[in-house]
Amino acid sequence: MYYINISALLLLFLTGCIHSNPKIVDKSYADSLIHNYSRTDPAGKNNTEMAFWKARINPDNPGISNELKYSSALVRRFHQSGDINDLIKAEKVLKETSQVYNNKEAGVYVALTEIALLKHQFKNAADLLNKAKQIGVQNYVANSYSFDVEFELGHYNLASFYLS
């Protein structure tokens, strides 16, 4: 009996080791997907968008929308490439825009807060965010950035409050 049980277990074990390659998807279907699928190039798309917004900026008649979109594209490119010069350029554009509008645009300060966070300048980010709040910014935006700033500064109770 003992030998029969061992033989049965051995047989069961060996049959479990047999490799079978069942066909999951027909090759022609997979080939057609590969042939018709095209990946988008995020960096290329962002560079196209960045060139578009940069071309719309009129130095003689500065605005806010084009400058914000251009700086946003620069920040996206920083996320893709890690080139700190993109953040420096975006920050410069935003500071110039803020001066044109007498430092009264909350959206500019929110964008500057994001850049300060990316540069790990957390105290500067807190100051910029406070300016945005004083000017007037939506509660969701204020709370989201407040959480980030307070968390990075180590004020965990305040961060928890803003997260709630």
pLDDT at 149: 95
pLDDT at 6: 77
pLDDT at 126: 96
102: helix, coil or strand? coil
Please provide the DSSP assignment of 17-31 as one string: T-------S-HHHHH
Q: Cβ distance 70 to 50 under 8 Å? A: yes
State the amino acid at position 125 in one-letter form: A
Residue for token digits 């798309």?
45
Cα dist from 37 to 32, 46, 47, 101, whole Å: 8, 20, 22, 46
pLDDT by residue for the chain (164 residues), tens digit each?
666 777 777 666 666 666 666 676 677 776 776 777 666 678 888 889 999 999 999 888 888 899 999 999 999 999 998 899 999 999 999 999 999 999 999 999 999 999 999 999 999 999 999 999 999 999 999 999 999 999 999 999 999 999 88
Q: Cβ distance 84 to 78 under 8 Å? A: yes
